[in-house]
Amino acid sequence: MPVYAYKGVTTAGKSTRGHLDAESLRAARGKLKHDGIFLTELVEAAGKTTAPSTAARSALPSLQRVSGLDLALVTRQAATLLGAGIPLVDGLGALTEQTEHPRLKSVLGTVRDRVNEGSSLADAMAQSRVFPDLYVSMVRAGEAGGALETVLERLADYLESQVRLRNKVSSILIYPAVMFGFALIVVGVLVTVVLPQITELLQSLNQPLPFYTRWIITASDFARDFWWAIGLGMIGFAAAARASIATERGREVFDRFKLKLPVIGRIVRLLGIARFSRTLSTLLAGGVAIVRALETAKHVANNRVLGDAIDLAKESITEGATLARPLRASGQFPPLVTHMIQVGEQSGQLESMLSKVADTYEEQIETTMSRLTAILEPFLILLMVGIVMVIILSTLVPLLQVTSALG
């Protein structure tokens, strides 16, 4: 059923705005008229509008992605409003008005209307398909326990920590990525522009060329004549790899392969464990049952091998066992993690221990990435210089030989 955004004036003369579900524009007008609202604007939130001037603006919300930073900001603001004693519906209305993100503004308006109609906040958020499962689960637990403000604060902390971690990793990888792209451009220009001109000169000399020079010339001609085939091959390989990873077996093999890679495998494992620990700590602190929390944390870890170990732990817990023992038996979690989880279970402070694990591993991720980048920078420079030197020497040596013969 379409969702419509409206602006109007009530019978008391006050301006009002909001969202409602209706089968058509006519049905939406009828509902609002029955509620005593005189319309000044009526827009279909999914993309159709009653006025051409609002068409482009209303089409954007359903296309724009809601980032983790946007969600964290709204969550922090919601916790602040609830902490100030503002009713939930009024708080959602205030968030709708001050949020600048078009899609999030539309979603918050819809959530507010559903809550105003008697739906729970968690159910309204679940229907929006914008709030992740972790978010909805914690909000539902907060509503059930009467601690929604505290849960929203913890959610905001969690989302902000994930954004910081993602930004740190991205900023560390920017320089090596730029260097690698520059190296590809330089090599591409040499192979497709410079080398063909030198090749014509070498061939005009009618002198036998060294085997490595012939190889370089052949590779240059192939890249220049069949660049389209190389491009199609790369696209086909990427598509085939993506289709393979999309299968259950392919994803498991790929995730296991990533964990076995030198250096990269360590980073992947640390990142998965940090996400798992942070998510599980946040969910347990928010009052979510441990079995449900483990199911959500498994998906956040984003690794099938680690997920299988978490599934075993979940089954073990349903049988009355501890969390640490099956994680230790899987061999996928380092002793530090399982030991701290065991101490947390014995002391009744599992949430805080998991939070400390996440803090420790996030610091290790940043340190490891910084060291890896420090190694990659000179390596990429040397690689680029080496490729350029090979190309230059492959063409310069025959010219020197001809010059020596003529001399």
Q: Of 139, 159, 179, which residue sits at a domain end?
A: 159
Q: How far apart are CA 90 and CA 76, in angstroms?
A: 16
Please, is 97 exposed, middle or buried when counting C-beta atoms within 10 Å of its C-beta (0-12, 13-18, 19+)?
exposed
Number of neighbouring beta carbons within 10 Å of residue 67: 14
Q: How far apart are CA 172 and CA 20, in angstroms?
A: 45
Same domain for 87 and 107, yes or no, is yes
Pick the residue with more confidence: 4 or 335?
335
Q: Looking at the domain assignment, is residue 170 inside a domain?
A: no
- pLDDT for 59: 43
> Does the pLDDT at position 63 exceed 60?
no
- pLDDT for 49: 41
Same domain for 102 and 152, yes or no, is yes
The CA–CA distances, whole Å, from 259 to 254, 284, 326, 367, 372 equal 9, 27, 19, 18, 16
Task: Yes or no: say if 155 and 135 are a contact pair by the CB < 8 Å rule.
Answer: yes
> Does the pLDDT at position 340 exceed 70?
yes
Q: Which residues of 108-145 are buried (b: 16+ CB within 10 A; e: fewer)?
A: bbbbbbbbbeeeebbbbbbebebbbebbbbbbbbbbee
The angle at the Cα of 305, spanning 301 to 308, to the nearest 5 degrees, equals: 85
Q: Looking at the domain assignment, is residue 239 inside a domain?
A: no
- pLDDT for 321: 79
For 315, the token pair is 């089954």
Same domain for 129 and 49, yes or no, is no
- Taking alpha carbons only, the member of 347, 345, 341 closest to residue 327 is 341
Q: Of 159, 192, 223, which residue sits at a domain end?
A: 159
Span 80-119, pLDDT tens digits? 888 888 888 888 888 888 888 888 888 888 888 888 888 8
CATH of the domain at 108: 1.20.81.30
Domain count, the chain: 3
- pLDDT for 23: 67
Q: Looking at the domain assignment, is residue 388 inside a domain?
A: no
Same domain for 46 and 90, yes or no, is no
- pLDDT for 136: 84
Q: Looking at the domain assignment, is residue 31 inside a domain?
A: yes
- Taking alpha carbons only, the member of 131, 96, 98, 120 closest to residue 110 is 96
Task: Yes or no: say if 103 and 111 are a contact pair by the CB < 8 Å rule.
Answer: no
The angle at the Cα of 92, spanning 87 to 93, to the nearest 5 degrees, equals: 100
Spell out the residues 6+ positions from residue 267 whose beta carbon is closer than 8 angstroms to its own.
365, 368, 369, 372
Task: Yes or no: say if 212 and 391 are a contact pair by the CB < 8 Å rule.
Answer: no
Residue 364: alpha-carbon gap to chain centroid = 20
Q: Looking at the domain assignment, is residue 46 inside a domain?
A: yes
Q: Looking at the domain assignment, is residue 22 inside a domain?
A: yes
Q: Please give the torsion angle defined by the CA atoms of residues 273, 278, 281 and 286, in that order, rounded to the nearest 10 degrees.
A: -140
Q: How far apart are CA 300 and CA 279, in angstroms?
A: 7
Domain with 277, as residue range(s), is 264-365
Task: Yes or no: say if 20 and 43 are a contact pair by the CB < 8 Å rule.
Answer: no
Q: How far apart are CA 245 and CA 46, in angstroms?
A: 33
- pLDDT for 130: 83
Q: Looking at the domain assignment, is residue 257 inside a domain?
A: no
Same domain for 276 and 325, yes or no, is yes
Same domain for 291 and 329, yes or no, is yes
**Among 53-67, 277-291, 339-353, which is the least confidently predicted range?**
53-67
% of the chain surpassing 70 pLDDT: 90
Same domain for 130 and 46, yes or no, is no
| 21, β-bridge pairs | 3
Q: At 236, is the pLDDT very low, low, confident or very high (cuts 50, 70, 90)?
A: very high
Q: Looking at the domain assignment, is residue 332 inside a domain?
A: yes
The angle at the Cα of 257, spanning 301 to 159, to the nearest 5 degrees, equals: 20
Number of neighbouring beta carbons within 10 Å of residue 12: 7
Spell out the residues 6+ positions from residue 367 whose beta carbon is closer than 8 angstroms to its own.
none
> Does the pLDDT at position 19 exceed 50?
yes
Q: Of 159, 182, 200, which residue sits at a domain end?
A: 159
Task: Yes or no: say if 277 and 354 are a contact pair by the CB < 8 Å rule.
Answer: yes
Same domain for 144 and 74, yes or no, is yes
> Does the pLDDT at position 286 exceed 60?
yes
Phi, psi of 20 (to 5 degrees): -155, 155
